[in-house]
Amino acid sequence: MSSKKNSTPGAKPHKPDAMGSAMRVISSIAGSDIAEKLGVRKPIERVAYEATRTGFKTLGAANRTFKKSSGAKKPNPLPDAEKKNDLFDLSIEDEQKMIQETVRDFASGVMRPAAHDADEAAKAPESLIERSSEIGVTMINVPEEYEGVATERGVVTNSLVAEALAYGDMGLALPIIAPSSVAATLTQFGSEEQQKTYLPAFGSENVPGAVVAVNEPTPLFSPFELSTTATKSGDGYTLNGVKSLVPIADSAELFIVAAAYESKPTFFIVESDTDGVVIEADPSMGLRAAGIGRINLKDVSVPSSAILGGEISADERDKAFRDIIRLSRLGWASLTVGTSQAVLDYVIPYVKEREAFGEPIANRQAVAFMVADIATELDGLRLVTWRGASRAEQGLEFGREAALARKLASDKGMKIGLDGVQLLGGHGFTKEHPVERWYRDLRAAGIAEGVVVL
């Protein structure tokens, strides 16, 4: 039997030098007028220097201690991006394009070859997580004052990054995106005290494993009707409940946990070594490479400073929670776009090369229409997601777009995965081809909450 690499009709292995790609884009940005205009030349030059000196090698993040810092107890977010209402323009900016291309190179050349074995093992290889530091996904969500490069909200850029990573593999994208999502959540919704305590770690080379945990193992789960509870206890809070569909659960050092407090859903910051936090493996049908697990919270005591946003009103907490869930839904839609694009790019050469009855199956009208439907639905989902991300970035209302993106990601994403399997016929049902794995991953987009926050 021939190997997987050579037996795939239409497959075109692409093995760029990931570190070289990362250095190329960093050097390009550092030497451009854009870097000077945005005032990010020095942070980028620091990345380039450290990358050259260490070869992007990331040290282990185990047993980290987060040192509490003082500061204002209310949120201190990055400013919204400038509103651009003068024309309808869907083109992305030059620096966004460079970031997107670099992440896509990494996804195609590093993530995709590792995806099959990671799915089988139900865990991402440690070497891959270490190499992900090459593309600096987390740094773009950390303000300059905490050694990052962010000067304003970057929801669109985060959407492009999520899409590009999922093009390699959605399951492997989650362990890379999860810490970035925590950084984005702390930057936009955390108090100054919380930012000073945690963000410096996310702006370093040694990024901690971290994840936003919302899902619960209940039928017809809604993030606005939580079974996990938080009650006032002395000078802090006590959390009880179970969180499911949590990627990198066994290696994460920090969780942002959703719990019902005073009848309103609220986020709490929980360090993984807190007494009462118990992690157990919980492999799922899809997203297996993400190392899915459960967090069991049994009388977990956290200080008063653990409530996300600090000393804000119940209405402000409710608004922040809803915005985070909406950003998460845009994030899952972005992942769906990336994986759906991978399906489309895989099936087009396949149907052109696969022959039946003496001609390529692409000549069959039913096959051609099915491929066209995938492309049509994919473009619709991408445009709705980009629109929602753009409005969120500008501080505009984006609830409608987030709801539409979630609906399309749930329905059309699953259909795209199913059609991809169908177009490959018997091959679509085997693990020799990645489409069956992508189909399983796409089914998760309609049920998962949290984790991916743009």
Looking at the chain, how many residues does it have? Answer: 454
How would residue 80 be classed by pLDDT, with cut points 50, 70 and 90? Answer: confident
Domain spans of the chain, in order of start = 15-208, 229-306, 315-446
C-alpha count within 13 angstroms, C-beta hemisphere, residue 3: 4
pLDDT at 5: 43
Of 192, 212, 176, the C-alpha closest to 312 is 192
Global pTM value: 0.83
Contact yes or no for 264/225 (Cβ under 8 A): no
Q: Tell me what percent of the residues of the chain surpass a pLDDT of 70.
A: 83
- Residue 59 scores a pLDDT above 80: no
Homologous superfamily of 315-446: Butyryl-CoA Dehydrogenase, subunit A, domain 3 (1.20.140.10)
The correct answer on CATH 3.10.440.10 for the domain covering 229-306 is: no
pLDDT (average), residues 336-340: 98
- pLDDT score for 451: 93
pLDDT at 45 over 80: no
Answer yes or no: is pLDDT of 56 > 70: no
Asked if residues 150 and 199 have their Cβ atoms less than 8 Å apart, the reply is no
- Using one digit for the tens of pLDDT, what is the confidence trace for 266-324? 999 999 999 999 999 998 899 999 999 999 999 999 999 999 999 899 999 999 999 99
Instruction: Centre a 10 Å sphere on the Cβ of residue 160 and count the other Cβ atoms it contains.
Output: 24
pLDDT in tens, 90-122: 788 898 999 999 999 999 999 999 999 999 999
Question: What top-level class would CATH report for the domain 15-208?
Answer: mainly alpha
Q: Which of 131-135, 201-205, 254-258 has the highest mean pLDDT?
A: 254-258
39 — pLDDT class (breaks 50, 70, 90): low
- pLDDT the model gives residue 48: 47
Can you give the C-alpha Rg of the chain in angstroms? 22
